[in-house]
Amino acid sequence: MSFKDEIARRRTFGIISHPDAGKTTLTEKLLLFGGAIQEAGAVKSNKIKKGATSDFMEIERQRGISVATSVLAFNYKDKKINILDTPGHKDFAEDTFRTLTAVDSVIVVIDVAKGVEEQTEKLVEVCRMRNIPMIVFINKLDREGKDAFDLLDEVEQKLKLTVTPLSFPIGMGYDFKGIYNIWEKNINLFTGDSRKDIEETIAFDDVNNPELDKIVGEEHAEKLREELELVTEIYPDFDREAYLKGDLQPVFFGSALNNFGVRELLDCFIEIAPQPRPKESDTRLVKADEEKFSGFVFKIHANMDPKHRDRLAFIKIVSGTFERNKPYLHVRHNKNLKFASPNAFFAEKKEIVDVSYPGDIVGLHDTGNFKIGDTLTEGEVMNFKGIPSFSPEHFRYINNADPMKSKQLEKGIDQLMDEGVAQLFTLEMNGRKVIGTVGALQYEVIQYRLEHEYGAKCSYENFPAYKACWVKPEDTKSEEFAEFKRVKQKFLGHDKHGQLVFLADSEFSIQMTQQKYPSVKLYFTSDFY
């Protein structure tokens, strides 16, 4: 197969949802279609079990699973599909944000009864900002839920999307008869008393055909006709270009648990979803079909076995081929590195691979060379953009609780920050260190891992910040900037790249600061330059 064909057949995507909407179940059914697993229940949920948030074994269990499910690859028809795992738990949202920099498209799973939930809103916002193509899957149609039109409205309003249904449910819950597939023009019937049987598909390109009444009953047939008419009136026709630009989001209905509507989703997905997309670097746009290799680190997984200090850095290949034992330039360190055993992922297994293509993810064993966001190339000096840090929501001073182990503590903090577990800010005034996280759970993870992996002990102290704002003055020599620095001295620090950060204690303080020092710009993510 030619290099171009290899690229064209790749689909690298993420499934995002609020916990419990059915992401794991859907992933599993997709893998079953690909023949990558043989039975249901083979994919472990990566979610933190309810009520177990302070149980460290649970955290470790979760880390173990998240290594296994980081990339789930399989072949379906003639396509190579890479599903990148995205933790649903809100305390790990930053991990998910970063993974979203490595996907070419996403599927958003929504629970038909619960509608659009908080995590979905946050994650979709990130995708929208990056114009990532999205397909929406409304799940659990076998249960009583919201009216389909109400739900489509909710998706449009809360998620600020422009949707167009490509399938439509016939009844719902106990009265669920099946789905009309607008994309393929057929009907999928939900049969069997147990409601667990795989569907029967009937080609049906004209819903006005009286046969429909016989198949689903007069009442349902009439309602479906009216609803489909409304769909045509209200929603735009599907347009692949608009979908690829992130301007239009097709919607499917189904039930992942019953494997209902999943094949339809997958068949449409492989046709319309983008092949590996170009990526912007600080010097130019890099296209997948360029001959020379380039890629970037979007995830680091470390120290599952405390006896070994090795880590696995996950690289998304942007262009060219990645070959085993070939030297590549680590741009930030300006040194060449070779990898004797790059891992490729297949379902839940990983294996050593000789050649990987754009869209693929390789896992590289690392002894501390990589940070999230690092670029590897075949010699070109450039850095991929778009792996921002987001403002944390929790802030605490970190103190050394065992003075004999300060070296270990420093090293541990340094490595955990490289992994992206949390963000470290060093206060300008006194050099004290503040850890910022997206969720409170991370503090326990850090404390536990520092002790078990680095032999260091830490304690925390409250630091009264509300948000981290990255600071960029229009003029570094201005009087206004000097005054800002003087007045806000106590709240200024530097992130790990040395960028100036204002740790504001309230929304009010951010607003006042913006009013008072209009030439000092504040940003809530670190990728503003």
Binding site for ligand G4P (CB under 6 A): 17, 19-25, 45, 47, 88, 139-140, 142-143, 255-258
Query: Is the Cβ of residue 145 or residue 358 nearer to ligand G4P in the bound state?
Result: 145
With contact defined as beta carbons under 8 Å apart, do 392 and 504 qualify? no
Query: Is the Cβ of residue 257 or residue 422 nearer to ligand G4P in the bound state?
Result: 257
Shortest separation between residue 259's beta carbon and ligand G4P, angstroms: 9
Instruction: Tell me whether residue 20 is annotated as binding.
Output: yes
- Measured CA to CA, the distance from residue 374 to residue 526 in angstroms comes to 15
Query: Is the Cβ of residue 68 or residue 257 nearer to ligand G4P in the bound state?
Result: 257
Integer angstrom CA distances of residue 365 from 105, 341, 343, 374, 434: 27, 8, 8, 14, 30
Instruction: Tell me whether residue 34 is annotated as binding.
Output: no
- Measured CA to CA, the distance from residue 175 to residue 192 in angstroms comes to 13
Shortest separation between residue 84's beta carbon and ligand G4P, angstroms: 14
- Which residues have a Cβ under 8 Å from the Cβ of 129 and sit 6 or more positions away? none
Instruction: Tell me whether residue 310 is annotated as binding.
Output: no
Tell me if residue 259 falls in helix, strand or coil.
coil
Q: Whose CA is closest to 412, among 455, 465, 379?
A: 455
Instruction: Tell me whether residue 420 is annotated as binding.
Output: no
Query: Is the Cβ of residue 27 or residue 447 nearer to ligand G4P in the bound state?
Result: 27
Shortest separation between residue 14's beta carbon and ligand G4P, angstroms: 13
- Measured CA to CA, the distance from residue 186 to residue 206 in angstroms comes to 9
Shortest separation between residue 196's beta carbon and ligand G4P, angstroms: 10
Query: Is the Cβ of residue 138 or residue 435 nearer to ligand G4P in the bound state?
Result: 138
Shortest separation between residue 109's beta carbon and ligand G4P, angstroms: 6
Instruction: Tell me whether residue 18 is annotated as binding.
Output: yes
Query: Is the Cβ of residue 207 or residue 257 nearer to ligand G4P in the bound state?
Result: 257
Shortest separation between residue 20's beta carbon and ligand G4P, angstroms: 4
Shortest separation between residue 173's beta carbon and ligand G4P, angstroms: 10
Instruction: Tell me whether residue 45 is annotated as binding.
Output: no
Q: Whose CA is closest to 259, among 446, 31, 472?
A: 31
Instruction: Tell me whether residue 23 is annotated as binding.
Output: yes
Query: Is the Cβ of residue 20 or residue 199 nearer to ligand G4P in the bound state?
Result: 20
Location of structure tokens 């600061």: 513
- Measured CA to CA, the distance from residue 330 to residue 116 in angstroms comes to 41
- Measured CA to CA, the distance from residue 480 to residue 175 in angstroms comes to 66
Three-state secondary structure readout of 250-287? EEEECECCCCECHHHHHHHHHHHCCCCCCEEECCCEEC
Alpha-carbon dihedral sign for residues 484, 489, 490, 492: positive
Give backbone dihedrals phi and psi of 412, rounded to 5 degrees, phi first.
-60, -45
Query: Which residue type occupies 137?
Result: F
Query: Is the Cβ of residue 111 or residue 495 nearer to ligand G4P in the bound state?
Result: 111
Q: Measured at the alpha carbon of residue 83, what is the angle toward residues 352 and 312, in degrees to the nearest 5?
A: 40
With contact defined as beta carbons under 8 Å apart, do 227 and 112 qualify? no
Instruction: Tell me whether residue 301 is annotated as binding.
Output: no
Instruction: Tell me whether residue 403 is annotated as binding.
Output: no
- Measured CA to CA, the distance from residue 313 to residue 299 in angstroms comes to 6
Other residues' Cβ atoms within 10 Å of the Cβ of residue 358: 30
Shortest separation between residue 122's beta carbon and ligand G4P, angstroms: 15
Overall size of the chain counted in residues: 529
Instruction: Tell me whether residue 142 is annotated as binding.
Output: yes
Instruction: Tell me whether residue 496 is annotated as binding.
Output: no
- Which residues have a Cβ under 8 Å from the Cβ of 209 and sit 6 or more positions away? none
- Residues comprising the binding site? 17-24, 85-89, 139-142
Q: Which residues are annotated as a binding site for GTP?
A: 17-24, 85-89, 139-142
